[in-house]
Structures are given as C-alpha cells and as structure tokens.
C-alpha cells in the first residue's frame, strides 16, 4: 500500500424498506481508489436473507447521508477526495456487477480484499446495493477501508 488509507463508517442506522444502496464510494476526477475491506453488520435478532450486489455505477447517486472518511494514519492530514454516501434517495446508473450474495443478516458480510483489491477508477462509483427491498427495516452498520492512489 503506497497511497493514503481511509475508513468510512456509519453505525446503527435503519436500512429502510426501499431498494437502495447501503453505501456508495465516489472517486474524484483525479484520484482512483483501491477498496481493501468491506464489513456490514446488523442488529437484527431474527434471520432475514438480504440479497446484496457489489456494483460499479456509471452515474452517481443523489441525496442520502454523507459519510466523512477518516484517515487511518493520524499523521495524514489530507482530506479524502473520495465521497461516501449512504442510503441515497436516488441511486446512480448500474454498471458492472462485481459480486452478488444472499446475506444472512445475523452474520457479518465481510470482504477482506488484500490480494486483489477492487479498483475504482477516477470519476466512478462503487456501491453495495440492497438488490431487493427489505420486507421490514432493520438496523445496520458498515465500515469500508479504501486507499487513494
């Protein structure tokens, strides 16, 4: 790893019942990123199978909650160029499907991507999409670790 590494975290928020993205990483026009880790957990006490899709989007989202990436190394005083949005009101246009999974929300959804991290080129978006609208809302948390090159 030779770039600046950040984490984006959002804790204990409602998934809602709409078809949307849990989070979207948006790169700037000059800085691509490598995604090293994705972890999603739920506070639900009963099992629900939630289809998830990790996709590259060709257009960005609108609305939603802004999440501020934090540097892992405290000596890094550079603000992240990458934007992070959670639960956008309007998702962007779908592009390449990277992976798809039927997630049991009683267990963490965890991807440690150290050998071949996902590359998100400049002016692109990577989203973790709820591929089906939840039947009822549940509380969820996520952390994403990424490196700006």
Instruction: State how far the Cα of 111 lies from the Cα of 118, in Å rounded to an integer.
Output: 11
- The tens digit of pLDDT for each residue in 34-82 reads 999 999 999 999 999 999 999 999 999 999 999 999 999 988 889 999 9
pLDDT at site 105: 95
Q: For residues 39 and 108, is the Cβ–Cβ distance under 8 A? A: yes
Handedness of CA 25, 27, 31, 34 (dihedral sign): positive
Q: Nearest 5°: CA angle at 95, between 118 and 33?
A: 30
**pTM of the complete model:** 0.93
Task: Record the tokens describing residue 55, joined without a space.
Answer: 């996709």
- The tens digit of pLDDT for each residue in 111-148 reads 888 777 889 999 999 999 999 999 999 999 999 999 99
Beta bridge partners of 39: 110, 143
Which position has the token pair 């989202």? 61
Judged by DSSP in three states, 55 sits in: strand
| Among candidate residues 93, 102, 149, the one with its CA nearest the CA of residue 130 | 102
What CA–CA distances, in Å, run from 131 to 11, 52, 53?
21, 5, 6
């Amino acid at each position: 790893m030779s770039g600046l590494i950040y984490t984006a975290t959002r804790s204990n928020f409602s998934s809602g019942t709409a078809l949307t993205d849990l989070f979207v990483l948006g790169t700037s026009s000059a800085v691509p990123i490598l995604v090293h880790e994705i972890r999603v957990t739920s506070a639900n006490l009963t099992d629900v199978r939630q289809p998830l899709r990790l996709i590259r989007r060709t257009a960005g989202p609108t609305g939603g909650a802004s999440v501020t990436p934090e540097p892992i190394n405290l000596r890094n005083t550079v603000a992240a160029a990458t934007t992070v949005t959670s639960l956008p009101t309007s998702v962007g246009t779908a592009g390449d499907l990277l992976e798809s999974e039927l997630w049991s929300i009683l267990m963490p959804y965890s991807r440690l991507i150290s050998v071949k991290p996902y590359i998100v080129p400049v002016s692109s978006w990577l989203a973790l999409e709820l591929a089906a609208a939840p039947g009822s809302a549940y509380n969820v948390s996520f952390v994403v670790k990424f490196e700006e090159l």
